Structure 1
Amino acid sequence: HLKKEVELSHLAQHAVDFDRTAPESWCVVGNCFSLQKEHETALTFFRRSVQLDPSFTYSHTLSGHEYVSNEDFDKAAACFRDAIRSDDRHYNAWYGLGAIYFRQEKYDLAEYHFRRALSINPQSSVLHCHLGMTQHANGKPYEALDSLAGAFRLDPRNPQARYQRATIWMSMDRPHEALSELEKVRDAAPREASVHFAMGRVLKRLNRPEQAMRCFLTALDLDPKDNNLIKAAMDRLDEPDVDEDVSAF
Structure 2
Amino acid sequence: MGGTRVWGLLLAWVVAVSALGCNQERNESVRLMNEGIKLYRKERLMQAVQQLEKAVNVDPTNDKALFYEGMLRYQKLGELPRGESLLKKAIELNGKVAEYHYHLGTALAAQDKNPEAVAAFDQCLELDAKHGEAHFRRGMALEAQARFDDAQAAYREAIKNRPRLAEAYYALGMLYFRFEKFAHALQVLKNGTGNAPAYGPMYKALGQTYQKQKRFDDAVNQFEKALTLDPGDATTHFNLGMVYEANGDAEKAVEHLKRYLVVKPATEDSLRVQTVRDVIARLENRGGR
TM-score (norm 1): 0.80
By how many angstroms is 1:215 displaced? 2.9
Three-state SS of the structure 1 residue aligned to 2:267 is helix
Partners of 1:176 and 1:163 in 2: CA distance:
14
Asked if the contact 1:107–1:138 (Cα under 8 Å) also holds between the matched residues in 2, the reply is no
By how many angstroms is 1:14 displaced? 5.9
**Cα distance change of structure 1 residues 112 and 189 upon mapping to structure 2, 3 Å threshold:** same
Letter aligned with residue 40 of structure 1: P
Detail structure 1 runs of 4+ shifted over 4 Å in the superposition.
2-6, 10-22
Q: Is 1:178 aligned with 2:214?
A: no
By how many angstroms is 1:170 displaced? 0.8
Asked if the contact 1:220–1:230 (Cα under 8 Å) also holds between the matched residues in 2, the reply is no
**Cα distance change of structure 1 residues 133 and 52 upon mapping to structure 2, 3 Å threshold:** same
Letter aligned with residue 63 of structure 1: L
RMSD: 3.1
Letter aligned with residue 273 of structure 2: K
1:70-219 superposed matches below 5 A: 70-209=111-250, 211-219=252-260
Asked if the contact 2:254–2:280 (Cα under 8 Å) also holds between the matched residues in 1, the reply is no
Partners of 1:6 and 1:161 in 2: CA distance:
33
Q: Which runs of 5+ in 1 are unaligned?
A: 241-249
Q: Which runs of 5+ in 2 are unaligned?
A: 8-39, 283-289
2:94 aligns to what?
53
Three-state SS of the structure 2 residue aligned to 1:54 is coil
Letter aligned with residue 57 of structure 1: A
Structure number with bigger Rg: 2
Greater RCO structure (CA 8 Å; 6+ sep): 1
2:22 aligns to what?
none
1:231 aligns to what?
273
Letter aligned with residue 275 of structure 2: A
Identity %: 18
Partners of 2:132 and 2:235 in 1: CA distance:
30
Asked if the contact 1:111–1:134 (Cα under 8 Å) also holds between the matched residues in 2, the reply is yes
Query: Matched residue pairs, number?
Result: 240
2:76 aligns to what?
35
2:104 aligns to what?
63
Worse overlay, 151-160 or 9-18: 9-18
Worse overlay, 43-52 or 124-133: 124-133
